[in-house]
Amino acid sequence: MASIVASAHAGRGSGGKGPRGLHVGIGDDAAVVDLGSPAVLSTDAQVQGTHFELDWLSAEALGRKAFLVAFSDLSAMGARARWALLSLEAPASMSMRRGRALLRGFVAACRENDVALVGGNVAAAPRLALTVTAVGEAHRSLTRAAARDGDDIHLVGNPGDAAAGLELLAAGGRRGKLVQAWRRPPCHLQLGRALSRNVGVGAAIDLSDGLVLDLSRVAAASGLGALLDTDRLPLSRALLAAVRGRGGLVNEALEYALGGGEDYLLLFTARPDRRSRNSIASLGRRHGVAISRVGSMDSSLKAGSVVNTRGQALEGGYQHFLTSRGARA
Amino acid sequence: MASIVASAHAGRGSGGKGPRGLHVGIGDDAAVVDLGSPAVLSTDAQVQGTHFELDWLSAEALGRKAFLVAFSDLSAMGARARWALLSLEAPASMSMRRGRALLRGFVAACRENDVALVGGNVAAAPRLALTVTAVGEAHRSLTRAAARDGDDIHLVGNPGDAAAGLELLAAGGRRGKLVQAWRRPPCHLQLGRALSRNVGVGAAIDLSDGLVLDLSRVAAASGLGALLDTDRLPLSRALLAAVRGRGGLVNEALEYALGGGEDYLLLFTARPDRRSRNSIASLGRRHGVAISRVGSMDSSLKAGSVVNTRGQALEGGYQHFLTSRGARA
The rounded distance, in Å, linking the Cα atoms of A115 and B285 is: 43
H/E stretch holding B278 reads helix B274-287
Domain boundary among B137, B168, B198: B137
| pLDDT tens sequence across B93-152 | 999 999 999 999 999 999 999 999 999 999 999 999 999 999 999 989 999 999 999 999
Burial class (CB in 10 A: 0-12, 13-18, 19+), B106: buried
pLDDT for the residue A4:
52
| pLDDT tens sequence across A48-70 | 999 999 999 999 999 999 999 99
Query: Are the Cβ atoms of B47 and A89 closer than 8 angstroms?
Result: yes
Q: Are residues B166 and B299 in the same domain?
A: yes
From chain B, the residues in CB contact with A79 under 8 A are 30
The rounded distance, in Å, linking the Cα atoms of A269 and A78 is: 13
Contact criterion met (CB below 8 Å) for A191 and A81: no
Note the Cα A107 to chain centre separation in Å. Answer: 18
Where is average pLDDT lowest: A234-243, B26-35, B318-327? B318-327
Nearest of A66, A199, A77 to residue A138 by alpha carbon: A77
pLDDT band for position B249 (cuts 50, 70, 90): confident
From chain A, the residues in CB contact with B6 under 8 A are none
Query: Are the Cβ atoms of B138 and A205 closer than 8 angstroms?
Result: no
A67: left (phi over 0), alpha (psi -120 to 50) or beta: alpha
From chain A, the residues in CB contact with B43 under 8 A are 85-87, 119-121, 131, 133
Query: Are the Cβ atoms of B29 and A42 closer than 8 angstroms?
Result: yes
CA distance A176 to chain B (A): 28
CA distance A40 to chain B (A): 5
Q: Are residues B153 and B270 in the same domain?
A: yes
The rounded distance, in Å, linking the Cα atoms of A134 and A73 is: 8
pLDDT band for position B329 (cuts 50, 70, 90): very low
pLDDT beyond 70 at B234: yes
pLDDT band for position B275 (cuts 50, 70, 90): very high
Burial class (CB in 10 A: 0-12, 13-18, 19+), A216: buried
| pLDDT tens sequence across B65-101 | 999 999 999 999 999 999 999 999 999 999 999 999 9
Contact criterion met (CB below 8 Å) for A239 and A253: yes
The rounded distance, in Å, linking the Cα atoms of B246 and B254 is: 15
pLDDT for the residue B4:
52
The CATH number for A297's domain is 3.90.650.10
CA distance B249 to chain A (A): 33
Q: Are residues A83 and A202 in the same domain?
A: no
Nearest of A33, A66, A115 to residue B42 by alpha carbon: A33
Quote the ipTM score: 0.91
pLDDT for the residue B322:
37
Q: Are residues B306 and B166 in the same domain?
A: yes
From chain A, the residues in CB contact with B49 under 8 A are 125-126
pLDDT for the residue B323:
35
From chain A, the residues in CB contact with B143 under 8 A are 24, 28, 32
| 8-state DSSP, B314 | P
Domain boundary among A109, A137, A165: A137
Q: Are residues A99 and A163 in the same domain?
A: no
pLDDT beyond 70 at B62: yes
Q: Are residues B17 and B160 in the same domain?
A: no
What sections of chain A are H helices per DSSP?
A: 2-8, 59-75, 96-112, 161-170, 177-183, 189-197, 211-222, 237-245, 250-259, 274-287, 318-328
By residue range, what is the domain housing residue A268?
Answer: 144-328
Q: Are residues B165 and B274 in the same domain?
A: yes
pLDDT for the residue B328:
27
Q: Are residues A172 and A224 in the same domain?
A: yes
Q: Are residues A171 and A260 in the same domain?
A: yes
Contact criterion met (CB below 8 Å) for A177 and A229: no
Q: Are residues B60 and B185 in the same domain?
A: no
- What is the sign of the dihedral through the CA atoms of B113, B117, B121 and B124? positive
- What is the sign of the dihedral through the CA atoms of A123, A129, A133 and A134? positive
Burial class (CB in 10 A: 0-12, 13-18, 19+), B61: middle
Amino acid identity of residue A191, one-letter, is L
The CATH number for B132's domain is 3.30.1330.10
Domain boundary among B87, B116, B137: B137
Contact criterion met (CB below 8 Å) for B263 and B207: yes
Of B50, B73, B87, which has the smallest distance from its Cβ to A125's Cβ? B50
Nearest CA in chain B to A30: B42
Q: Which residue, among B5, B43, B44, B319, would best test binding to A if mutated, counting the most A CBs under 10 Å from its CB?
A: B43
The full length of chain B comes to 329
Query: Are the Cβ atoms of A41 and B28 closer than 8 angstroms?
Result: no
Nearest CA in chain A to B30: A42
pLDDT for the residue A139:
83
Query: Are the Cβ atoms of A121 and B131 closer than 8 angstroms?
Result: yes
> What domain count does chain A have?
2
From chain A, the residues in CB contact with B118 under 8 A are 41
Q: Are residues A226 and A101 in the same domain?
A: no
Query: Are the Cβ atoms of B127 and A131 closer than 8 angstroms?
Result: no
The rounded distance, in Å, linking the Cα atoms of A63 and A105 is: 5
Q: State chain A's maximal CA–CA distance in angstroms.
A: 62
For chain B, what percent of residues have pLDDT higher than 90?
88
pLDDT per residue of chain A (329 residues) written in tens, 0 to 9: 445 555 444 333 334 467 899 999 999 999 999 999 999 999 999 999 999 999 999 999 999 999 999 999 999 999 999 999 999 999 999 999 999 999 999 999 999 999 999 999 999 999 999 999 999 999 899 999 999 999 999 999 999 999 999 999 999 999 999 999 999 999 999 999 999 999 999 999 999 999 999 999 999 999 999 999 999 999 999 999 999 998 988 899 999 999 999 999 999 999 999 999 999 999 999 999 999 999 999 999 999 999 999 999 998 654 433 333 333 22
H/E stretch holding B163 reads helix B161-170
DSSP reduced 3-state for A102: helix
Q: Are residues B295 and B318 in the same domain?
A: yes
Amino acid identity of residue A139, one-letter, is H
From chain B, the residues in CB contact with A45 under 8 A are 87, 89, 121, 123, 131
- What is the sign of the dihedral through the CA atoms of A123, A125, A129 and A131? negative
Tally of CB atoms within 10 A around B62: 24
The chain-wide mean pLDDT, for chain B, equals 91
Whole-number Cα distances in Å, A315 to A228, A297, A318: 12, 17, 10
The full length of chain A comes to 329
Contact criterion met (CB below 8 Å) for A144 and A218: yes
pLDDT for the residue A315:
84
